[in-house]
Amino acid sequence: MKAVAVTCCLLCFQFEALYVQPHVSDAQVVVEFENGNFNFTFPNPKNVSEFSMTLFKGHEKKEICAFHLSQERVIPKSNVTYCETQHSRTSTTFILKNLEKNHIDVYTYDLEIFLPPPYIDCCLKETYLYIQGK
């Protein structure tokens, strides 16, 4: 099975880091195809104590996988069997496993920053994922 990921557009905000303000920059997603899985890795926002990252599928933005960090508590969430999250101190990774042709779609990654204020909602990337049949 061959698979291809194409990053279609970058829709992110640039916020300057002033003192201890949240810092969201041009978050570059790293897309890797490894052992039959697609890994989408994003750097975590800086100077932030509470945030969420969500992976949506399709133009209707169906939530398939999410991750929430609050006061060092990590809360992963998955609505499907083929998506899971991994978190480190520096990055968050969405892992898509066992993909088939019905998983071909646009995937959107959303970052929400809750603390410190102000609340920021930033659509980071849209990536078109194409799965080529056998």
Side chain identity, residue 19: Y
Question: What pTM did the predictor assign?
Answer: 0.75
Could you give the percent of the chain with pLDDT greater than 70? 78
Residue 62: φ, ψ to 5°: -80, 120
Q: Specify the pLDDT at position 130.
A: 86
Higher per-residue confidence, 123 vs 9: 123
Q: Specify the pLDDT at position 19.
A: 34
Taking only the tens place, the pLDDT of each residue in 52-108 is: 999 999 999 999 999 999 977 889 999 999 999 999 989 999 999 998 888 999 999
Residue pair 104/96 in contact (Cβ under 8 Å)? The answer is: no
Q: Specify the pLDDT at position 27.
A: 57
Residue pair 108/121 in contact (Cβ under 8 Å)? The answer is: no
Q: Specify the pLDDT at position 35.
A: 84
What secondary structure, in 3-state letters, does 38-107 show?
EEEEEECCECCCEEEEEEEECCCCEEEEEEEEECCEEEEEECCCCEEEEECCCEEEEEECCCCHHHCEEE
What average pLDDT does the segment 23-39 reach? 74
Residue pair 103/129 in contact (Cβ under 8 Å)? The answer is: yes
What's the total number of domains in the chain?
1
Domain span holding position 83: 2-132
What average pLDDT does the segment 110-127 reach? 89
Residue 42: pLDDT above 50?
A: yes
User: How would residue 134 be classed by pLDDT, with cut points 50, 70 and 90?
Assistant: low
Residue 16: pLDDT above 90?
A: no
Residue pair 21/15 in contact (Cβ under 8 Å)? The answer is: yes
Q: The domain that contains 90 carries what CATH number?
A: 2.60.40.10
